[in-house]
Amino acid sequence: MTSRPPAALPKTWSPLDFGLHAFLVVNPFALGLWIFSLAPLVGGNLFLAVVLAGVVILLGAVVYGALAARWPWTGGDYAWQTRLLGARFGAVVALTSWWLVVALLAPVYGNVIVVQALDPLLMHAGWDGVASWFHSREGTFAASLMAVGVAAAFVGLGMRRAAIAQRVLVVMGSAALVVVLALLVTGDLAAVSKEFDAKAANVYGASPLASAQIVEIGGFDAKVTEVEPGGTFRLVPLLLLFGLWIGWAGPLIGEVRARKPASVSLALVRVAAVSTVASLFFLVAIGRGSTWEFWNEANNLYWGTLHGTTAATPLSAWPSPVVLAAWLTDSTLVQIAIIAGMAAWVLGWTATLFLSATRVLLAAASDRVLPNAVSRTTGDSVPLVALGLLVIPACALAAVDAYWDAFAEWSAVAVIALAVTTAGSGAAAVAGFRREHRSLAAISALFVLLVVLTIGVWVLDPVYGMRTFGALAFLAALYGISAGVYAVSRRRERKALVTMADASG
Partner 1 sequence: MIPNPSEGHHGGLVLFGPDRYLFIGQGDGGIYRDPTFPAQRLDNLHGKILRIDPRRHGTQAYRVPKDNPFVDRPGRDEIWVYGLRNPWRFAFDPATADLVIGDVGELIAEEIDVAPRAGLNFGWSCLEGRAPYASDGPASCARATPPARELIRGSIRAEKPDGDLPTVTRGRPRANTRLMPGEPVCSITAGVFVRDPSLPSLVNRHLFGDFCDASLHSFRLERGHVVDERELGLDVLLLSSFGVDGAGRVYVTSLAGPVYRLEAAR
Cα-Cα-Cα-Cα dihedral sign, residues 260, 264, 270, 273: negative
Q: Report 319-378 residues binding partner 1 (CB under 8 A).
A: none
Q: Is 315 in the site for partner 1 (CB under 8 A)?
A: yes
Which one among 171, 209, 227, 333 touches partner 1, defined by CB under 8 A?
209
Q: How far apart are CA 4 and CA 16, in angstroms?
A: 27
Query: Residue 206 interacts with partner 1 (CB under 8 A)?
Result: yes
Q: Which residues contact 432 (CB under 8 A, 6 or more apart)?
A: 67, 70, 71, 80, 84
CB nearer to partner 1: pick between 337 and 457: 457
Give the C-alpha separation, 451 to 244, whole Å.
8
| E strands, 1-115, in order | none
Segment interacting with partner 1, rule: CB under 8 A, options 95-103, 264-272, 433-441, 459-467:
459-467
Among 84, 192, 238, 455, contact with partner 1 (rule: CB under 8 A): 238
Tell me which residues in 390-429 interact with partner 1 (CB under 8 A). 402-403, 405, 408-409, 412-413, 415
16-35 footprint of partner 1 as x/- string (CB under 8 A): ------------------xx
140 interacts with partner 1 by CB under 8 A? yes
Look at residues 67, 98, 26 and name the one whose alpha carbon lies nearest to residue 369. Answer: 98
Query: 20, 25, 33, 41: which one contacts partner 1 (CB under 8 A)?
Result: 41
CA angle 460, 103, 471 (to 5 degrees): 25
* Cβ-based nearer residue to partner 1, 52 or 413: 413
Window 58-117: residues binding partner 1 (CB under 8 A): 107-108, 111, 115
For partner 1, how many residues bind (rule: CB under 8 A)? 58
Which one of 55, 224, 306, 473 is in contact with partner 1 (CB under 8 A)? 306
Nearer to partner 1, 205 or 480 (CB): 205
Q: What is the CA radius of gyration of the chain?
A: 23
Residues 473, 475, 478, 480: is their CA dihedral positive or negative?
Answer: negative
Instruction: Give the one residue of 302, 354, 433, 486 binding partner 1; rule: CB under 8 A.
Output: 302
Return contacts of 119-128, CB within 8 angstroms, 24+ apart: 119/317, 119/318, 120/317, 120/320, 120/322, 120/323, 120/339, 121/336, 121/339, 121/340, 121/343, 123/203, 123/204, 123/317, 124/203, 124/326, 124/332, 124/335, 124/336, 124/339, 125/336
Residues at the contact surface with partner 1, assessed by CB under 8 A:
34-35, 38, 41-42, 107-108, 111, 115, 132, 135-137, 139-140, 204-207, 209-210, 212-213, 216-217, 219, 238, 241, 302-318, 402-403, 405, 408-409, 412-413, 415, 462-466
